[in-house]
Amino acid sequence: MTHSPDTLAVRLVRVTYLTEHVSLFEFASLDGAPLPTAAAGAHIALQLPNLGERAYSLVTDSRHPERYAIAVKREPAGRGGSRHMHDMLRVGQVITVTPPRNLFKLNEQAEETLLFAGGIGVTPILSMARRLQALNRPFRFFYSSRSRIHAPFLEEIACFPDSHCRFGDEHGRDPSFGQILAGTSRNAHLYCCGPVPMMDDFLTAARAAGFAEEHIHVEYFAAKETPALTGGFVVKLARSNRSLTVKPGQSILSALRAAGVAMTTSCEQGICGACEVRVLSGLPDHRDSVLTDEEKLANQTMMVCCSGALSGELVLDL
């Protein structure tokens, strides 16, 4: 089997059941050689048969740098990636993955770090905690889950010196982000990954408390906004000198595919950055969770899986 240089063949070497619905999948290279290094917060995309790419945050572990580990929650109503992982993938099978990509970078020099994780959003946050602990840097870890039995990595997290675990069926509502952040130095860096309502509350509280945008870090694992599907605009492809009309009900990505334009994608929900394209002119209607507000205002790139156009024409570097 041959692979392009931007993909890797890896073998599934271990599956560990973490909770009723979450398993840890560990992959190693075929020849035992080290895999490209992954920093805390990075993700890889798995190429799954008939499903395309699916992106998952890595659970990095400095004791096993030769492996990629991902914790996957089986989502019966999802797009099929997690069901395939849980139901079809078996130890010994070889799959193709992308090298690690990091849109959720950890500032390792921060004076203090606050980590907030909700549910399966714990995976990149745990990697950050492990890294900060290895560096002997101060951090606080806030982990919430609907119940103790549904919380992966609980034993490890409870052992961090300043960790706070809360469960919906035991404690009711979490203390508000505002309460936690009120007594926190504005020099601290804040990281949050969890369900969309939790992330929205976090962002509102962090901004209201006066933290600078560059100290506020989030990673979504579900779409934050609905995709732009109103259509009714033209997309010009500058490199191939073609024009496409995006029809009502279509995304730019589906219009590109219908025209036979090959696109690299993964989440197709605006959260992984795989479909980012340079915008040469026109006004995108950004619906992704990848670009910062500043980047959205600059309109230099866009995610074509979910974003549309506010102008009648967009010229893309395709």
Q: Which residue's CB is nearer to ligand FES, number 256 or number 305?
A: 305
| Smallest distance, ligand FES to C-beta of residue 53, A | 8
Closest contact distance (angstroms) between CB of 270 and ligand FES is 5
Q: How far apart are CB 7 and ligand FES at their closest, in Å?
A: 16
**Which C-beta is closer to ligand FES: that of 26 or that of 288?**
288
- Contact range with ligand FES by CB under 6 A, out of 153-161, 167-175, 182-190, 261-269: 261-269
Residues binding ligand FES: number (CB under 6 A): 14
Instruction: Quote the CA–CA distance of 55 and 126 in Å, as a whole number.
Output: 17
Query: Is residue 190 within 8 Å of 215, Cβ to Cβ?
Result: yes
Q: Is 26 in the site for ligand FES (CB under 6 A)?
A: no
* 82-121 positions binding ligand FES, by CB under 6 A: none
* Residue choice 126, 275, 291, 309 for contact with ligand FES (CB under 6 A): 275
Among 121, 152, 273, 284, binds ligand FES (CB under 6 A): 273
Residue 35 contacts ligand FES per CB under 6 A: no
Separation of alpha carbons 34 and 125, rounded Å = 24
Sequence letter at residue 106: L
Amino acid at site 99: P
Sequence letter at residue 176: S
| Beta bridge mates, 228 | none
DSSP 58-125: B---TT-TTEEEEEEE--TTSSSHHHHHHHT--TT-EEEEPPPB-SS---TT-S-EEEEEEGGGHHHH
User: Which residues contact ligand FES by CB under 6 A?
Assistant: 265-268, 270-275, 288, 290, 303, 305
